[in-house]
Amino acid sequence: MFIFDVETLGKKSDTVILSMACIHFDPDEKPSPEKLRESAFFVKMDAKDQNVRLKRTINKSTIDWWAKQCDNAKKLSFYPSENDVTLEEGIELMRKWSKQFNDNKSWVWARGNLDQLVLDDAEEQLGIEPVFYFSRWRDVRTAIDFLTGTNDGYCRVNYPGFDPNLHITKHNPIDDCILDVMMLIYGEKI
């Protein structure tokens, strides 16, 4: 299975993608948060290039929202860096990373559908094949609610020493993926 997360500058399918993270995991192996972190794929994209060259959109309210996020999340995804790559390069890096698992049938989990829509839109705009075809996508919030009896897509995690308040930085796409995997595998029923 894969878990995927993007950080963006809007809530529409054609928005600028700031960063992407993806983790491949086997729930039967009962991975630790450290193993998930070590295996994570992450890439940061050039936001200005997407907006200027590709005309991908930016939403002012999302910029305002980013201003209120923690410095660690902003440094990782929001602020430009010298390591930023083009959107094409970022998607191709993820494609190459995902192929190592020789796993063309596993589900791809994401929190809601925005992540899938944004990636699909970018791939279509660039005229490239999808990394993950549409029929493979699943909503992690629905699964967590179904498995644990919650109704907000979140649950307590029963894993020794794991505390999301201490070990997870919100809106760090790697951490967002880790938390969702931990809830899927170790979520406690209410």
Domain parsing of the chain, residue ranges: 2-137
d(CA 89, CA 42): 12
Q: Look at the pTM and tell me if it is higher than 0.85.
A: yes
> Quick one: pLDDT at residue 165?
93
> Quick one: pLDDT at residue 104?
79
For residue 85, pLDDT beyond 80: yes
> Quick one: pLDDT at residue 118?
98
d(CA 155, CA 150): 7
> Quick one: pLDDT at residue 184?
97
Per residue in 100-134, pLDDT tens? Answer: 998 778 999 999 999 999 999 999 999 999 999 99
Q: Determine contact, residues 164/176, Cβ cutoff 8 Å.
A: no
Q: Determine contact, residues 126/94, Cβ cutoff 8 Å.
A: no
> Quick one: pLDDT at residue 113?
94
Per residue in 27-72, pLDDT tens? Answer: 999 999 999 999 999 999 999 999 999 999 999 999 999 999 999 9
Average pLDDT of span 80-91: 97
> Dmax over Cα atoms in the chain, in whole Å?
49
Average pLDDT of span 2-7: 98
Query: Closest Cα partner for 122 from 113, 131, 109?
Result: 131
Query: Closest Cα partner for 119 from 140, 141, 95?
Result: 95
> Quick one: pLDDT at residue 103?
77
Mean pLDDT, the chain, integer: 97
Q: Which CATH class is domain 2-137?
A: alpha beta
Q: Determine contact, residues 158/185, Cβ cutoff 8 Å.
A: no
